[in-house]
Amino acid sequence: MLNEARLFRLFEDLCAINAPPLMESDCVSFARRFLADNGLEVWEDDAGKRLGGNANNLIAKLPANSAGAPSIFFSAHFDTVEPTAGLEIELRDDVYYSKSDTILGADDKAGMAPAIEAVLSVKEAKEPHGDVYLVLSVAEEIGLKGAFACEIESLGVDFGYVFDTGPPVGSFVTKVGTQDKIHALVKGKPAHAGKDPEHGINAIQAAAAGIAKMRVGRLDGDTTANVGLISGGTATNVVPAEVAFWMEARSMNLADLDAQVEHMIACVQEGAKQYGATAEISKQRMYEGYDIPKEKSVVQIGLEAASNLGFDFPLRCTLGGSDANAFNAKGVPTIVAGTGMKEIHTHDEHVAKKDLVDLARLAVEIIRVSSRSARP
């Protein structure tokens, strides 16, 4: 039923198109033409204008041919963490790698191509199905911005699946933690480092004192924290007047998350005070976590489809965010399906042909199972 040659060609074509966040227009245009040429209803929203990017979220619809079945969606994102201009794809033992000095971009083209192939295969086979949507987003890698800009609730979908996490295929993420980001600006006082350093207040030293007090890394099974970016100073002969740094914390438990964030803020303030500096601190909740109960239709249908294909993997939880966080926040039950992409966000990223096929098979089976179910 699946057209494997078309699936592999589509994956290769998608990977070959450069699509960093907010610059996905070429890839969106390609996908729009491809979907329209294959008979789906296709349109874009206005996410690009709202986000300051050059591309919109792309939505495609396969209209129902079976009354009463749930309306479902599959989702993946266009953007990659690094530019892929000049990408050369290499196939080794039926596994795709980047031969060039770029990442492959399997995150998330290894989710997108199987989702598209599954919908086209069901359409061509004229199997019974409810409304099936493809919701293909932009700007996921910089904070799920495309998904938050997407008015998915207007589609009237009952639930959906985001194809955007690592293996094994056939597993589902049903519980995800919450993430907060913290920005700190420590202000000292400039002075000539050789002539009169005692007249200055070293902002880098003050920031370092605060960071040294923090609990970071894996704090327990449910909570992590990190200081990830730092920038400050102007020259070695100037006592630095300012230093900015960015931190994050994630947790399955909101009380623990709030406590960790307050701890990190307090450490910054204490470090600044220790050296006579000041600190300006802001925090932002990047996304809320979710916990979809096993008895919900979106989980039950996914598990039945996986079982029908011989996949027998437990449900998973993670602290990693995805577009599912945004869709759940908008009231649309969504879980994340495991894909075959490995070593993501690195230049060793790769995905096996078999996993692309298995994910497409799983998506087809989800459509089949959902077509036999009543709307929740």
Q: Write out the catalytic residue numbers.
A: 79, 140
The C-alpha angle 228, 232, 234, rounded to 5 degrees, equals 150
The C-alpha angle 149, 154, 156, rounded to 5 degrees, equals 130
CA nearest neighbour of 138 among 35, 39, 50, 248: 50
Phi-psi domain of 343 (left: phi exceeds 0; alpha: psi -120 through 50; beta: other): left
Q: What share of the chain is helix, strand, coil (3-state, %, to 5)?
A: 35, 25, 40
CA nearest neighbour of 175 among 362, 307, 315, 298: 315
The answer to whether residues 252 and 175 touch, using CB atoms and an 8 Å cutoff, is yes
Annotate 228-253 with DSSP letters as a single string. EEEEE-S-TTB---EEEEEEEEEESS
CA nearest neighbour of 17 among 75, 94, 102: 102
Residue 76: count other Cβ atoms within 10 Å of its Cβ.
28
Separation of alpha carbons 22 and 100, rounded Å: 23
The crossing angle, in degrees rounded to 10, of helices 106-125 and 353-371 is 50
SS3 state at 127:
coil
| Token couple for 21 | 């966040």
| Token couple for 160 | 């959906």
Residue 319: phi and psi, rounded to 5, are -100, 0
